Amino acid sequence: MIAPYITYILACLILLAPANQSKKDPLIDPAHLFWKTEAPTIFTVRITSTKGEFILEVHKDWAPIGAKRFFNLVRAGFFDDSRFYRVRPGAFAQFGIPGRPVIGKVWQQESIIDDAVLQKNIRGTFAYAMTGPNTRTTQVYINIKDNPQQDEQGFAPLGRVISGMEVVDALYSGYGDTSGGGMRGGKQGRLFEEGNAYLDKEFPTLDKLLKAEIIKK
C-alpha cells in the first residue's frame, strides 16, 4: 500500500513544480518570464528621492533593448530603496545598484546587447553605464550637462528628464567618484557585496532613491 501512495505524492510534486517555479521572485531570477514583457512605446517614471521628485520619459524607439529592461526593472521595484551612489559635480548622477546585496549579486553580470546611439547625451537625457560593448546591466546615469564624448563611446540615451531637473541638480555630489565609481576598473565590489549597509556607513550623505514607479504608459 505504501508504494502507490509514494507514487501519488511524487506525481503531485511534479504537477506543482511549474506553479511553484512561476512564483519565484523575478528580482532574484533573471530568467523569469516577467522580464520578457515589452515596454510601451513611451512611458514615464516618477523617481522619489530624498531631494524630491523628478519624472523620466522613456522612448522605446530611442533604445528598444534598454527601454525594455528599464521598464521591467521599474515595475519590479528594482531601484526602490537604493542610493545615488555616484554623482560627479556638474556632469552626471548615477544609480542602479540595488540596496539589497542578494539582488545586486544576481544582476551584476546580467548584461544586454547595445542599442544604436540615436540621441545625443545632452543635459537631462539618461543612458546605461557600461564598461565596453554589450555590457549594459542595470546602472543608469543622468546627464547633468551635455556630454558629447558619451555619444562617441556608444552610450545610447533611452529617455530624458521632463520634470524636476532641479532635483537631479541638487543630488549630493560631495563624494564624487569615491562612493561608487570604478565600474570599468572593477572597483564596485563592496557596493554589490554590502549594498546600502556599506554606503550608509561610509557615505552617509548620499541621497536615497526611495521609489521608482511607472505613472503613464
Residue segments in the chain with a per-residue pLDDT below the cut of 70: 1-23, 185
Q: What is the pLDDT of residue 182?
A: 80
> Would residue 145 count as lying in a domain?
yes
Residue 41: domain span: 37-216
Q: Output the domain CATH number for residue 195.
A: 2.40.100.10
> Would residue 11 count as lying in a domain?
no
Q: What is the pLDDT of residue 173?
A: 98
> Would residue 13 count as lying in a domain?
no
> Would residue 6 count as lying in a domain?
no
> Would residue 48 count as lying in a domain?
yes
Q: What is the pLDDT of residue 22?
A: 52
Q: What is the pLDDT of residue 78?
A: 98
76-89: per-residue pLDDT in tens? 999 999 999 999 99
Domain count, the chain: 1
Q: What is the pLDDT of residue 91?
A: 97
Return the number of other C-beta atoms located less than 10 Å from residue 139's C-beta: 21
Rounded to two decimals, what is the model's pTM? 0.89
> Would residue 124 count as lying in a domain?
yes
Which residues are paired to 92 by β-bridges?
88, 143
> Would residue 20 count as lying in a domain?
no
> Would residue 131 count as lying in a domain?
yes
